[in-house]
Structure 1
Amino acid sequence: MNQEQLNRMHSAKGFIAALDQSGGSTPKALRLYGIEEDQYNGEEAMFDLIHQMRSRIITSPAFTSEHILAAILFEMTMDRQIEGQYTADYLWEKKGILPILKVDKGLAPLENDVQLMKPISNLKGLLERAGQRHIFGTKMRSVIKGANPDGIRAIVDQQFEIGLEIAKAGFVPILEPEVDITLPDKEKCEILLKAEIERHLKTLEADVRLMFKLSIPTLDGFYSDLMNDPHVVRVVALSGGYSRKEANEKLARNPGLIASFSRALTEGLKAQQTDDEFNAMLQESIQTIYNASIQ
């Protein structure tokens, strides 16, 4: 674990850019970017286009370490290059931004009102490659769809089990048990989720460091005590389907909670924009998310 990088993630001002759309969510990301599915043919062309979009964001003069702590990458992005360097090396060496890798393989079918992660095949091999690519941390997502104690316990158990394996390999894992923001019992889900997280934190060895990526809580400041746990490097928030404006407003009411936005970050960016238009839109987005993250 790189101590300089760990200190930056723990203490510096800024937020995390989530640029980790996977195969299933890439067509929608491209559509929002102004590229329809009839404009490309096959997965290879699709992934080429999403890499061009990500590269345009990362190389933009608006995308700097002044506002952005880290960027979450899809596995294929980790293995591709930007301006002749592997993406993680470009991020850290050129931009001073930490590279984080999405490691989950998607969601299992709904059971007990939750969607666990599908098995992560050859996690050990993936982590070895991540080390070779100079990745700082990882991220993995599962989803809570109802206030079911058994389901929520299972989600947190799985997140911690795999997270500890990742931590032992020298990375800082981000555990992401997302609560669906549309749920009528969202607050009850969050109460159950926090209790399960706290139960696990009490069992960790002193040197374990991890992070959480959580839905912005219904009750302002609800996760403040998690931030003070000595094992927790940072607690970050997903936008979860909120517009950027609404996500920023909710985030700003939670001191210490910083953004890890994907769709809210890229909202308004279009392939058809000139570089000046694109960079100005990205700068506005980054500035507003940063402002909400440092309240």
Structure 2
Amino acid sequence: MALNADQKNQMASGKGFIAALDQSGGSTPKALSLYGVEPGDYSGDAEMFKAVHDMRARIILADDFTSEKVIGAILFERTMDDEINGKPVAQLLWEDRGVVPFLKIDKGLEDTANGVQTMKPMPELDALLARAVKAGIFGTKERSVIHEANETGIAAVVAQQFEIAKIVCGAGLVPIIEPEVNIHSDTKAEAEEMVRDALVRHLNTLPEGEMVILKLTIPEVPGTYDVIADHANVLRVVALSGGYSTEEACTRLAQNSKMIASFSRALTEGLNVKMTDAEFNTALGANIDKIYRASVA
């Protein structure tokens, strides 16, 4: 299946960043709490997910959430299946906002072994990818976490990521491969070198024309991932905020000219459910502008 050419071009060379709106079951309460919606404000999963959907809809419909600065957005599965103003979310993103839709597909993390957390099994992956294609999704995102510079663990994480990526490519989608390095790791810089080298080895095994996107922690040593950004099979290298504040994430990102942002917490920092629409749009617009400027620096 051929990729949407306009979406592919936007992801390859568009100026801006990817918004990560994909908090899942485990991280949803924290995301809502930061937004001013506490556990006592909702009862059960249905109300919790409605609250987070309302938050995401408010972000997507905000004045500055357009392709002028936001070139892509990563959605949670429930968001893909939902609607905003009566329109399927992925369709609204592309048709009304000019933003390329992605889908988070991993089911969470295994317990730590060899200094890393690999992804849990995804037994219904083929069916989910088929639904994603039908919904107009362009690509997927799958996350692992690396806590220390352990060659064995990092090799396992990267191998698993590429195993899933090949399935995603086979379904006609572009995978965002995300082997996150914990920003609090005592061996962060060493781990990042190991990640880079392992990624290059696997990228070199991909057939011509099979494209992936890499989502990586902003490196301790600027330019660490430049060689990956220049690889023929890489559409883009994007950065996760990883717990850094918006200010620090943007400062670090600006030192890496071949990476753009794909921020979650840094995007929504300072937003509150009690804000008026004008206050909300101003606060979100300021975050979007900061992240945009760091991405095009």
Equivalent residues of 1:256, 1:294 under 8 A apart: no
Equivalent residues of 1:210, 1:233 under 8 A apart: yes
Q: Which residue of 1 aligns with 2:134?
A: 132
How many residues of Structure 1 are paired with residues of Structure 2 in the alignment?
295
Q: What's the offset of the Cα at 1:201?
A: 1.0
Q: What's the offset of the Cα at 1:256?
A: 1.8
CA deviation vs aligned residue, 1:28-61 (integer Å, no higher than 9, x gap): 0000000110111000000000000000000111
The TM-score with structure 1 as length reference comes to 0.99
Answering whether residue 206 of structure 2 is matched by residue 204 of structure 1, we say: yes
Q: What's the offset of the Cα at 1:62?
A: 1.6
Give me the whole-angstrom Cα distance separating, in 1, the residues matched to 2:130 and 2:205.
Answer: 27
Q: Which residue of 2 aligns with 1:68?
A: 70
SS of equivalent residue, structure 2 residue 55: helix
Give me the whole-angstrom Cα distance separating, in 2, the residues matched to 1:85 and 1:256.
Answer: 35
Q: Which residue of 2 aligns with 1:225?
A: 227
SS of equivalent residue, structure 1 residue 242: coil
Equivalent residues of 1:71, 1:100 under 8 A apart: yes
Amino acid at match of 1:289: I
Give me the whole-angstrom Cα distance separating, in 2, the residues matched to 1:245 and 1:132.
Answer: 38
Q: Which residue of 2 aligns with 1:165?
A: 167
1:191 pairs, out of 162, 181, 193, with 193
Which segments of 5 or more consecutive residues in structure 2 lack a partner in the other structure? Answer: none
1:85-96 to 2 correspondence within 5 Å? 85-96=87-98
Amino acid at match of 1:109: D
Amino acid at match of 2:128: L
Q: What's the offset of the Cα at 1:3?
A: 1.2
- CA-based RMSD of the aligned residues comes to 0.5
Give me the whole-angstrom Cα distance separating, in 2, the residues matched to 1:264 and 1:53.
Answer: 15
Which segments of 5 or more consecutive residues in structure 1 lack a partner in the other structure? Answer: none
Amino acid at match of 1:179: V
CA deviation vs aligned residue, 1:49-88 (integer Å, no higher than 9, x gap): 0000000000111211100000000000000001111000
Q: Which residue of 2 aligns with 1:238?
A: 240
Write out the 4+ residue segments of structure 1 that deviate beyond 4 Å after TM superposition: none
Give me the whole-angstrom Cα distance separating, in 2, the residues matched to 1:155 and 1:87.
Answer: 31
Give me the whole-angstrom Cα distance separating, in 2, the residues matched to 1:29 and 1:286.
Answer: 18
Equivalent residues of 1:30, 1:50 under 8 A apart: yes
SS of equivalent residue, structure 1 residue 211: strand
Equivalent residues of 1:140, 1:176 under 8 A apart: yes
SS of equivalent residue, structure 1 residue 107: coil
